[in-house]
Structure 1
Amino acid sequence: MSESFTATAAVAHSGVEQFTLQAIEFAPLQGDEVIVEIHGVGICHTDVVVKAEVTEFPFPAILGHEGAGIVTRVGSGVNRVKAGDHVIVSFGSCGDCASCSADQPSYCHHMPELNYFGLRADGSPAITSEGKVIHSHFFGQSSFASHALSNERNLIVIDKDLPLELMGPIGCGIQTGAGAVMRSLNAQADQSILIAGGGAVGLSAVMAAAIRNCKQIIVMEPNAARRKLALELGATHVIDPTESPDLAEFIQQLSPAGVDLCVDTTGIPPVISALLAALAPRGTLGIVGITPPDTPPPGDLTMIMQRGLTIKGIMIGDTDLAEFIGELLQYYRAGSFPIDKLVTRYPLSAINEAMKDHMAGDCIKAVLLPRT
């Protein structure tokens, strides 16, 4: 489409605590670009981190990267999707580098410029408001808005009977947790697994471990309601980490020989160290949570060597997007991946309230509904 397009977005401004709803204007679409009418977008902790200006993403900006909706406009070169398609919007990747060619787009060699610079890959702005540039392309979408501009490669077409308001978080947090278990660690039925953190990523990992029939699924989470939900979703044991000053010892009371696999979703260095200490010989620790800047690798290298331990960094679950998301949707339809139990809905106009509830732990996965 050659003409510009107007929409509404929740814009983050530098030094301003709250988001502001304002009118935005999209530039004319480039050949491979698509406009998606957003019907639901999840709030992820990464949105919170960027809003707090911990990273260098430029402001003013539209954040949001767990969107789902309906394609309304397509560029002249688009052939993978069409107007009217229901889609999950995920992160940007180039499709040509060594990682993308190996079906590992989350490690795309061009990840920064496609997802973190706030502009198109060619450096041009895609969105303005009152003549001023509003930075976009956050994780390839910037979907805290009524409409988002993305690339056709970022989109996963889904069946039209699926509830769009639930689908967005699958594109990031949910596939991150599930992928950590089912792809990165490839958990098996004869293995034990410990998951630190009972948020959306951790509970998605629990559901994935239950699908894999892991013999022991332990969840470490201080929030009692989340521990209860973890048990409902398939955890065999839950731990309140506030009950013991020695987390590794407390964990080993449940699994004396140590656990085979650990997934950290917290990013808290003492928790990560405790998980490493709780591993059985030849065990693997997968790190998903965002750690504070300059956090050193956990543990004693001699101990890691002598016990044959592996520490694995995990980005968005090491998934190949369309194939894995399709698999998760099959589990959802079968009732074994009930993501609806994680979601609390808010209108987009209540984004500041939703952010507050997210930070306070009063919801597991806040989903904003721009059309409400």
Structure 2
Amino acid sequence: MKTRAAVAVAAHQPLEFEQLELDEPRIDEVRVRLVASGVCHTDAAVRDGVMPTLLPAVLGHEGAGIVEAVGAGVDSVAPGDHVVLSANSCGRCAQCLSGRLAYCEDLFGRNFAAQRSDGSRAFTGSEGAVGSNFFGQSSFAHITNVAARSIVKIDSDVDLTLVAPLGCGMQTGAGAVLNELRPPPGSSIAVLGTGAVGTAALLAARLTGATTIVAVDVVDSRLELAAELGATHTLNSRSHDLQTELARITNGRGLDYVLDTTGKPSVLRSAVDSLGIRGTAALVGSSPEGTEAHFEIGESLNKGWTFKTIIQGGSVPQVFIPALIALWKQGRFPFDTIIHHYPFDDINEAFADAARGTVIKPVIVY
């Protein structure tokens, strides 16, 4: 069947619209008609060649839509079900079998290779095969075939144009706090970068009972919104010295937790130096392969601090995404405040606005 898609054709080039041929869903796939898809920094990174995904390919990995058909081996959803799409995993490795799907041993193959595990692709264009199955979904298409392990069934009364970003960015930020860091009541946490991931982390930190929640960014409007959403302190790191201000905010005690969404070594280093005794720094921001960060290990040895990396919020999407939706329904996780909708035809404008920082979370509506 035919499907209209936005195709990444070459590094640093706008996505191009094309009518593609979509094959039949495999035994372990679900055909989904997209209603909406978030635009994520990872999509931009892959489009621009920062990550080694073979182009041309249909990107998009924060889809939400309605099931049209299911493969013969799928019994978790049925036609007509409303679904959010998330990351893919193999389900067979030691990490998956231990419930750590985000750390699947075939993480790259299942999410970034833009093809099925057997090497086939679901899309065919005028010049041949086009990459598919990006994060198991390739949601920048009206209709797509999705890996069953990327499917999260949700209630039909939920607005799909709002919950699409829960598939990646929102669960990454919120999950990093709620699943991995787990700050106890009364603790302190700084979130570096208040884009979609960072804002979700701030909202999650408010749920934990942390009493010092510091939002760090270089855009004042984002910091103003962070304060409205629950940050107890805001800090523009372009106009203030990050380490000095964090020391002041914590009265010299240092932070219990730092979550870096920027992936910038210099920012991460300043934050790590601001940790208190037994503090933890976590990285969720992506960087080009080979990026290194340098830490002081002399005096800081006495702190007993921890550094860790976190993927996908360490979550099981089929469990965590419905939990976030339940919190949102209760008014306790108001992630919808940062969403800006765009028609599918304006997808390149959505990418540009996100890069400029004028929009926190672009969502494409089909």
Please classify the TM superposition score into its range, dividing by the shorter chain length.
over 0.9
Q: Show the counterpart of 2:119.
A: 123
Q: Tell me the distance in 1 between the aligned counterparts of 2:124 and 2:299.
A: 54
Of the three residues 2, 7, 26, the one matched with 2:3 is: 7
Conservation of the 8 A alpha-carbon contact between 2:51 and 2:288? no
- Counterpart of 1:254 in structure 2: which amino acid? I
Of the three residues 254, 268, 271, the one matched with 1:258 is: 254
Q: Confirm whether residue 314 of structure 1 aligns to residue 314 of structure 2.
A: no
Q: 1:51-90 alignment to 2 at 5 Å?
A: 51-90=47-86
Conservation of the 8 A alpha-carbon contact between 2:196 and 2:338? yes
Q: Confirm whether residue 361 of structure 1 aligns to residue 360 of structure 2.
A: no
Conservation of the 8 A alpha-carbon contact between 1:184 and 1:318? yes
Conservation of the 8 A alpha-carbon contact between 2:11 and 2:47? no
Q: Confirm whether residue 142 of structure 1 aligns to residue 165 of structure 2.
A: no
Q: Tell me the distance in 2 between the aligned counterparts of 1:112 and 1:284.
A: 27
Task: Decide which moves more: 111-120 or 253-262.
Answer: 111-120
Q: Confirm whether residue 274 of structure 1 aligns to residue 282 of structure 2.
A: no
- Partner SS, residue 238 of structure 2: helix
- Counterpart of 2:33 in structure 1: which amino acid? E
Q: Show the counterpart of 1:249.
A: 244
Deviations 1:270-293 (A, max 9, x none): 110011011001000010111243
How far is the alpha carbon of 1:187 from its aligned partner? 1.4
Q: 1:12-23 alignment to 2 at 5 Å?
A: 12-15=8-11, 17-23=13-19
Q: Show the counterpart of 1:183.
A: 179
Per the alignment, do residues 173 and 242 of structure 1 end up closer, same or farther by CA in structure 2, a change over 3 Å counting? same
Note the residue ranges of structure 1 that are not aligned, 5 or more in a row.
Answer: none
How far is the alpha carbon of 1:15 from its aligned partner? 4.4
How far is the alpha carbon of 1:319 from its aligned partner? 0.7
Q: Show the counterpart of 1:301.
A: 297
Q: Tell me the distance in 1 between the aligned counterparts of 2:51 and 2:145.
A: 22
Q: Would you identify which runs of 4 or more consecutive aligned residues in structure 1 move more than 4 Å?
A: none
Per the alignment, do residues 312 and 304 of structure 1 end up closer, same or farther by CA in structure 2, a change over 3 Å counting? farther
Deviations 1:205-233 (A, max 9, x none): 00000111211100111111111111111
- Counterpart of 2:243 in structure 1: which amino acid? A
Q: Tell me the distance in 1 between the aligned counterparts of 2:247 and 2:53.
A: 41
Q: Tell me the distance in 2 between the aligned counterparts of 1:45 and 1:193.
A: 23
Conservation of the 8 A alpha-carbon contact between 1:267 and 1:292? no
Of the three residues 262, 278, 285, the one matched with 2:281 is: 285
How far is the alpha carbon of 1:16 from its aligned partner? 6.0
Q: Show the counterpart of 1:48.
A: 44
- Counterpart of 2:249 in structure 1: which amino acid? L
Conservation of the 8 A alpha-carbon contact between 1:170 and 1:325? yes
Of the three residues 56, 72, 89, the one matched with 1:93 is: 89
Q: Tell me the distance in 1 between the aligned counterparts of 2:189 and 2:135.
A: 30
How far is the alpha carbon of 1:321 from its aligned partner? 1.3
How far is the alpha carbon of 1:119 from its aligned partner? 1.1
Instruction: Percent identity, please.
Output: 38
Of the three residues 82, 100, 104, the one matched with 1:104 is: 100
What TM-score comes out, normalization by structure 2 length? 0.97
- Partner SS, residue 242 of structure 1: coil
Conservation of the 8 A alpha-carbon contact between 1:104 and 1:320? yes
Of the three residues 150, 154, 161, the one matched with 1:154 is: 150
What TM-score comes out, normalization by structure 1 length? 0.96
Conservation of the 8 A alpha-carbon contact between 1:145 and 1:348? no
Corresponding pairs, count = 365
- Partner SS, residue 65 of structure 1: coil
Per the alignment, do residues 278 and 42 of structure 1 end up closer, same or farther by CA in structure 2, a change over 3 Å counting? same
How far is the alpha carbon of 1:28 from its aligned partner? 2.0
Q: Tell me the distance in 2 between the aligned counterparts of 1:83 and 1:203.
A: 34
Aligned-pair Cα RMSD in Å: 1.2
Conservation of the 8 A alpha-carbon contact between 2:12 and 2:48? no
Q: Show the counterpart of 2:211.
A: 215
How far is the alpha carbon of 1:130 from its aligned partner? 2.2
Q: Tell me the distance in 2 between the aligned counterparts of 1:344 and 1:251.
A: 31
- Partner SS, residue 228 of structure 1: helix
- Counterpart of 1:164 in structure 2: which amino acid? L
Of the three residues 343, 347, 350, the one matched with 1:351 is: 347
- Partner SS, residue 203 of structure 1: helix
Q: Show the counterpart of 1:167.
A: 163
How far is the alpha carbon of 1:172 from its aligned partner? 0.3
Q: Show the counterpart of 1:230.
A: 226
Q: Show the counterpart of 1:28.
A: 24
Conservation of the 8 A alpha-carbon contact between 2:133 and 2:147? no
Deviations 1:2-25 (A, max 9, x none): xxx211100111146111111111
How far is the alpha carbon of 1:71 from its aligned partner? 0.5
